[in-house]
Structure 1
Amino acid sequence: MTRLTIGEFATRSRLSPKALRLYDRLGLLVPASVDEATGYRSYEPGQVERARLIALLRGLDMPLARIGELLALAEESGPAAAADLARYWADVERDVAARRGLVAHLRARLSGEPGGPSGEGQTVESTDRYEIRTLEVPERTVLGERRHVLAGELPLWIPEAFGRLARAATERCGGFAGPPFVAYHAEVSEESDGPAEVCVPVADPAAAARYAAEGGHGAALSLRVEPARRVAATRLTKEGMTYPRILTAYAAVEDWLREHGQVCVASAREVYLEPDWDGAAPTDVVGEVQYPYGPA
């Protein structure tokens, strides 16, 4: 069977030679042969179908690494690959839905549309309706792990850090004295790395101090006493706590503070009220955004 030059193959597959060289380098579409002397690539005509499949998947903005995984799965089972594609697209649609809410909030904010609370505990008009409540949080001793981290790293780091701190709290520090939370000391996004701090309130401050002094947990461990504070908070479903949808909840609490002449006096935090996060349904209330506040 006659092989195709990279130019001929590019024409048939409707991919540029530059893209073909990239896909070769990543192992997605390896040429049938490469001339040792000239480096010229040639392809089998039967590889056109794989090239078109890659191009179509890229049309969905699927990352190249994810395409490689799907193609490998397709070699084993077409139905399994189709199911994997369906899961990928469901994730995309959830992300689009979350971003749609954020766009609506930003449009309202930019256009100066009215929407704010008329009194403490009233509903805040943001992208969705958020019920803002205020509560007193007592003084407490908190174990924490602080790290500079980007948004994409949070889903892995947060549960790992919670696991380490939960073991320390249970085995060495008298147990929990409140729900765990993540404090954001500066913005965490794909460009800004915080820092963020995973925190667990503990019941035995003296035992926690001994544990911290031993240094066995590592340099990332922090121990502090948080003073009693008044916080403005809004409760969220599991779906509502996903990024970037949760940004509208932060904005709703910020709007409430501004409307009431208050300012944030400590780091905003996400509080996790549901111990069984994995078992919770998307519509279950699992946590809340809290802002410690005081007069402006």
Structure 2
Amino acid sequence: MSVFASPAVARRRARTAFAAAAVLLAGACSSPTASPAAHGTTAASTSASALPTVGPSASTLPDLPYAAFDPAEQLDLYLPAAGAHPAPLLIWIHGGGWHTGDKTQITGFAGPSVKAPAPGPCRDIVEVQVPDLAELLAKGYAVAAVNYRLTQDPVAAAQDAKAAVRFLRANAQRLRLDPDRFAAWGDSAGGYSALILAVTAGRRTVFDDPRLGHADVSAAVQAVVDDFGASELTDLPGSHTAAEDPFPYIASAKPGSIPPFRIAHGDADCVVPVQHSRDLLTALTKAGTAATLTVLPGSGHEDPAFMRTQWKPTLAFLDHIFHM
């Protein structure tokens, strides 16, 4: 569940407590543990030195620690049945105003039957937008749903996202993942982390913390889905420096270094203004990145209209990038 305040409210409520919601995780744990393949890296400082054994059938590996700095640094990995090739991976980063939300929400895809909420004043707590996990697995995608530190610190959240990507790439062979086909999907606060993954790849920045393990492994992704994500520093909680602004990284990126983006935003979003995504599209396009923006008329933040109208085009985007 994504929780933001509108720009004026965010500055007044930087330390306000937010409500949380979670959906029970569906799936079973896999069998006994064994040592992972290191993928040519140093060992991570996590208990992931013993990963569950991955069998040929579809499986769920819950609560995998991708770092050892904080107990929140865990992910759930959903694997399709083994195919002829390693699976492309979608890394889902939940929203929640950097204060709430949980990886298990990915099991709560509502589909096209959910009606949009009645028009009303801006609300802090609204619907959640998640991928259709069942359809992704059926098509042969693996999916990682990532938890991160909920300290209202966007930088810590992005550091955790990069650590999760590094952990998954370091163990790609062991987990039947294709390390050259990683996509990041973030909504709301998660959109900021997905954005940072894309625009800081190959650089050492404030978003890279070697204490989180696998520091020598790439945290790059090959595609990004950004649903109503935050990108403007003035609307993020807390105080920030220029080093945390994503736009200079975009402007200084080497040609072709930023992966394709698919962005969606509602023009009635009073939580994260649609201008965030418009400015992001302008910057990405100027940098030569393949990027699109779909603006949903009359849709608010985390509106169920996104699941009704954007799931199929988003899946088509991923299928095109990864030749599925």
TM-score, length-normalised on structure 2? 0.22
Q: Say which structure, 1 or 2, has more relative contact order (CA 8 Å, 6+ apart).
A: 2
Larger proportion of strand: 1
TM-score (structure 1 length as normaliser): 0.24
- Between Structure 1 and Structure 2, the one with more helix by share is 1
